[in-house]
Structure 1
């Protein structure tokens, strides 16, 4: 049975001052955010300020806020825009973040095989985090724990570090 993704119980750290969407998209449960006229991104979205680097890029940071707020489909979409612009190890790491978001959404939807495939690929890609001074060890560990009944994973206050 498809169900809503629950909101986090605590108020958490935000990186950018951009409102969250009105719902956390779960395929088959809500209107498609982009394709459906009632979707929360149907008429476009927020116009983000492109930062000089990823540490001050609004769209990238908003993706992290969405992830920590359990908006997994939405974080995936935001980071995909960043991925198209990224180069080198940043591009690989952003792709890994996209895959972690997708893995969590697949887990929530009960698709174990897809979830496992995505997380395996993400964990390989996120090893390049050392190249850009981003650490993902806790994220991969916490996501694996979540898959067996642990807490919902978050990037946390320290992401991304300079």
Structure 2
């Protein structure tokens, strides 16, 4: 599997969280006082527009480096802000579910990973039929991404390299935006 050092950073000025969250193995990032993003005073982030390029790229950066739960959190406000029924909303939900599949793969839960991956692939294919303002930033076609999302889990991920990360997908996002 590819490791973090071989993957480009999309936002090199932003620091990654101190760990990639896995349920039951680490403190919940926002709910637990020891979580990497815990702030009891913080309000939920609200996105004004789903074309927020920095938030979208941050999600891709997190995803590319094995921070799947964190990528989901970066994309969720964008998904919530996207128009219902739009290609952007389908694409974002597809990415969120692909990230969820990454978490399940890291946990060794192949059945759950497959379920999330199939749902993600269906949404990504739906998004391909519309016009998404975000698609061009992915660096991969939506069909190719759908195929990757629904690929069966062949084995457990390699041992984490650093910061408890394990990259479980053979592709990365944003290659064309570097």
Give the structure-1-normalised TM-score: 0.78
Q: By how many angstroms is 1:66 displaced?
A: 0.6
Structure 1 segments of 4+ aligned residues over 4 angstroms from their partners: 50-53, 143-146
Aligned residue among 82, 91, 99 for 1:101? 99
Residue 152 of structure 1 pairs with residue 151 of structure 2: no
Give 1:76's aligned residue.
72
Bigger shift: residues 124-133 or 102-111: 124-133
Offset at residue 111 of structure 1 (A)? 1.4
Contact preservation (8 Å) 1:146, 1:152: no
Q: Residue deviations 1:49-93, cap 9 Å, x none?
A: x68662x53212211111111100000111111111112110111
Taking a change above 3 Å as real, the CA distance of residues 62 and 36 of structure 1, as seen in their structure-2 partners, is same
Partner of 2:145: 139
The equivalent residue for 1:92 is 90
The 1:151–1:43 alpha-carbon spacing in structure 2 relative to 1, beyond 3 Å, is closer
CA distance in 1, matches of 2:91, 2:23: 25
CA-CA distance at 1:126 after TM superposition: 0.4
RMSD across aligned positions (CA): 3.1
* Structure 2 unmatched runs, 5+: 136-140, 156-167
Distance between the aligned counterparts of 2:110 and 2:50, measured in 1? 35
Structure 1 residues 66 and 130: CA distance shift in structure 2, 3 A: farther
**Alignment-derived partner of residue 17 in structure 1:** 13
Which residue in the other structure is 1:66 paired with? 62
Structure 1 distance, partners of 2:176, 2:121, is 19
CA shift for structure 1 position 22? 1.0
Contact 2:50-2:81 within 8 A present in 1 as well: no
Question: What's the TM-score, normalizing by structure 2?
Answer: 0.72
- Structure 1 gap segments, 5+ residues each: 1-5
Q: Is the 8 A contact 2:94 2:121 kept in 1?
A: yes
